[in-house]
Chains A and B, each alone.
Chain A
Amino acid sequence: MTGWLGPLLVERAIRLCWLAPLAAVGLFILVSNAPVDPIEAYVGARTALIGPEQREAIAAAWGLDQPATTRFVLWVRNVASGDFGDSILYNAPVVTVIMDRFPASLLLVSLAWLLSFVIGTGLGIVAAMTPGSRVDRAIRAYAVVLTSSPGFWVAIILISIFAVGLKMLPSCCALPPGTTTAEATFWAQGRHLILPVVALSVTGIAPLVLHTRARMIGFLESPPAQHLTAHGASQRAIAFGAGLRHALGPALTVHLAGAGELFGGSILAETVFAWPGLGQATVRAATGGDAPLLMGIALATLLFVFVGNMLADIAARLVDPRLRWDKSR
């Protein structure tokens, strides 16, 4: 039964072994050549009050007085012993900075992922049941509109309708303003999740709708489906019965593989909703030239996307038994 799982994991482990160092070198070259002066970015509005001697002291405190290659070798040596260094921007260990923010982002991304999966496949199946109908056309039009709407724009529209206009849902933060984590109720936290999750889920819905729809139409027109129809099964029973398993596998693969994109979208959503996740820290690290943090976040994201893709492959094999015997690769 699981004879296929072992080789798959081994193959992926080998891939990670060359992918991660390659990504690290590429990233470091990008970061150290980026036209951002970390000290100037750090000093910011205080530029009139920080003299050149103090700038040198800051550079020395950050190790920026060393040449780039020395810094990279030092970084690799530290990472090999499990030390990802300190974020210069946050003045705290990189691992702490990431671990403080990752849960909030993961919650947002996974809920958005689930929501878009349910909505995307659901709409796709409904559209496929009556191709060419008004419902089908409305759903496809919706998908096209969503594809062409940037996530942050949707976020701003949602805020102006539900927060400013109707005053129904909060526009910001993970908790009601003025309450501490200990004081906040479960429902209060839930309310704050609604708008960010909806805004973020938009990115993933459209491709799923179109993909599921195409797969489902293909199935409904196939001999097995016609056979079931001939036996009196309704369109709905076929679509949500035998058809579901047929369309769900590929949809899951597409959606898990798109998890990285969702992670990228969360950067914008987090900024708009002041969500205390990793997305905001990424933007600050990039604009502030915080190399250690940026490298840490990039490697964490790499791992996240990598695991997402691996889960996609495993899920596809679980849902569709035919793939398990595919030894061609």
Chain B
Amino acid sequence: MPICVWVLTIIIGLTTAVSARDIVVAIGGEPDTGFDPVQGWGDYGSPLFQSSLLKLDADLNIVGDLATEWTLSEDKKTWVIRLREDARFSNGTPVTAEDVAFTYNTARDAGGLVDMTVLREARATGPLSVEIELTEPRITFIRRLTTLGIVPQSSYAKDYGRAPVGSGPFQMVEWREGETLIVEPNPYWFGGEVGFDRISFIFGDEDAAVAMARSGEAQLVAVPPSQADDVPDGMYLIEVESVDNRGLMFPMVPATGETTQEGAPIGNDVTSDRAIRVAVNQGLDREALVALALNGHGKPAFGPADDLPWDNPDAHIPGNDIAAAIETLERAGWLDNNGSGLRKKDGIPAQFKIVYPAADSVRQALALGASKQLKALGIDAQPSGRSWDEIPRLMHSNVVVFGWGAHDPSEMFNLYSSNKAGVATFNPGFYANAAVDAAFAKAEAADGFEASLPHWKAAQWDGTTGFGSKGDAAWAWMVNLEHDYFVADCLDIGRVQVHPHGHGFPITSSITDWKWTCE
């Protein structure tokens, strides 16, 4: 009996009290391949151990990180970059132009999760100056400059991802794979002081993370919308806007019996009619979809990049206007002559399937909700839950609930350019508009990222045409997810960027500004 008491005392006595300068966060994001930028680490959120040439601030403006100057050459194919002098890796060696060139060239050849196929070569032209040459003008390559962390040429090896050395704000103390990452500030970081002596990242499933918030073991936790309303004591809820969006992709061409190389049918006679697509955009009540599918934790979506710098609000039509939708349909000849509640045109009923991945409850709710709402317009949209293996065969001839969202306008190019028609899951609807393609080409060939913004906007709606719902209405975007986190009352995480597709790790984009506000 005394032994039991003794053991119990020890057990209770050891309930750890985390000191104020150490925090524990549970937001997922563990990279299986390790913390190697060349393999794709650091795309979302803070790369922790490395710094990149440029970075995005809280408003998604591009600012310098390792680079002090960056200019694009006359032919728009070469970035000329000057590095800061005071940058050092966590082992104390300075960051040189050789390291930058090595990182870019290695990433190009690595076959990892960094798409560098447009890079011709990176060259060091001096100790602190680099030239990065592309095979063609591609302004969105600047996105690589904001994400690719620089690795040291002298110590880079195959196991780099498990013992990373970089010039970022942190250095690795220990990584227990599948469980925990422990980091401490890098004393050589050029950005100054970090607010914590140690930050521990706990991996594992969502429920375990929420349990840690409730037991007070973690100070920042990613929480699914279904549990977000029950905030634990001593914490508050932050709801981060995102472009993690969901929408209906329409097949844009009529069904002529044509198929892809794999034999998947292309085209749909109903959705190839612009009036149907515009009516769906006009008729959907997106607020109701947010309430239904996201438990209220989200907001309506009108385009692929709502509220990002390259979004064009003029391209959107507001929606939830059944009268306007019906007028659009009637004017185009979609009539319900026999009072059956189903419109027809030239004998073709306004009927299509909404395919969604059956395992995804949010997309299922969206498909069911949209189907119900479209019934009021006289459109029979039948929800159809399928597996991801079947969807590639169905997506060229059926409406599909897809989700996208990135801090990169080249995503719009992938979704709407005729170049990408039928390529992978890009542009499955075979959308093609010469004016849109031309706007994309102008954007990629712009003098700078700022200068490319009007062209990205023109691709959505230039006053006469565009892929947005006012123009060709190639998609009907429905909702943007909201990413929810429980944060300890004493933790100030500063201003947060609009999140991309992916809940969890993107919250670390402001990690160097995090502060502990209690004693």
Taking Cβ atoms with an 8 Å cutoff, the residues of A that contact B are 35, 40, 42-43, 45-55, 57-58, 60-62, 89-92, 100-101, 156, 159-160, 163-164, 167-181, 185, 187-188, 191, 270-277, 280-281, 284, 288
Known: A172-B212, A173-B180, A273-B208. A45 touches B501 (CB 8 A): yes
**Do A35 and B387 contact each other (CB < 8 Å), given the known contacts A60-B111, A160-B211, A274-B179?**
yes
Q: Given the complex of chains A and B, what is the CA–CA distance between A101 and B16 in angstroms?
A: 25
**Cβ-closest 7 pairs across A and B:** A274-B204, A61-B111, A276-B179, A91-B33, A54-B115, A177-B24, A57-B111
A-facing mask of B182-207, CB < 8 A → 1, else 0? Answer: 10000000000000001010111101
Q: Are A171 and B14 in contact (CB under 8 A)?
A: no
Binds A, one of B369-377, B407-415, B466-474: B407-415
Say yes or no: A168-B12 contact (C-beta < 8 A), given A49-B406, A272-B205, A274-B205. Answer: yes
Q: Could you say which interface size class chain B belongs to? A: 35 or more
Asked if B515 CB lies within 8 Å of chain A CBs, one says: no
* In the assembled complex, B424 has its CB within 8 A of some CB on chain A: yes
Q: A61-B110, A188-B14, A284-B32 are known contacts. Are A181 and B174 too (CB-CB below 8 A)?
A: yes
Chain A residues in 8 Å Cβ range of B378: none
Task: Note all chain B residues with C-beta closer than 8 A to A50.
Answer: 113, 115
| A51: B residues at CB distance < 8 A | 115, 117, 414, 423-424
B424 touches A52 (CB 8 A): yes
> Please, how many angstroms separate the alpha-carbon atoms of A188 and B174 in the complex?
17
B18 interfacial by beta-carbon distance below 8 Å: yes
Chain B residues with CB below 8 A from A101, complex form: 177-178
Is A274 a contact partner of B117 (Cβ separation < 8 A)? no
Query: Using a Cβ cutoff of 8 Å, how many contacts connect chains A and B?
Result: 177
Which residues of chain B come closer than 8 Å to A163, judged between CB atoms? 211, 215
Asked if residues B15 and A178 are in contact (CB atoms below 8 Å), the reply is: no
Given known pairs A49-B115, A172-B202, A176-B16, the reply for A276 and B178 (CB within 8 Å) is: yes
In contact, B113 and A43 (Cβ under 8 angstroms): yes
Residues 65-118 of B at the A interface (beta carbon under 8 Å): 110-117
Counting CB contacts under 8 A, is B161 at the interface?
yes
Write the chain A residue with the least CB distance to B13.
A187
Mark B2-39 against chain A: 1 for CB-CB distance below 8 A, else 0.
Answer: 00000000111011101000111000000011101001
A–B Cβ pairs within 8 angstroms, 8 of them: A48-B415, A51-B424, A100-B177, A167-B216, A171-B217, A173-B202, A273-B204, A275-B179
Contact B208 A172 (CB under 8 A): yes
Query: Is B176 in contact with A276, judged by CB distance below 8 angstroms?
Result: yes
Contact of B159 among A62, A92, A172 (CB under 8 A): A92
Most buried by A among B113, B389, B411: B113
Residues of chain B in range 157-178 having any CB-CB distance to chain A below 8 Å: 158-159, 161-162, 173-174, 176-178
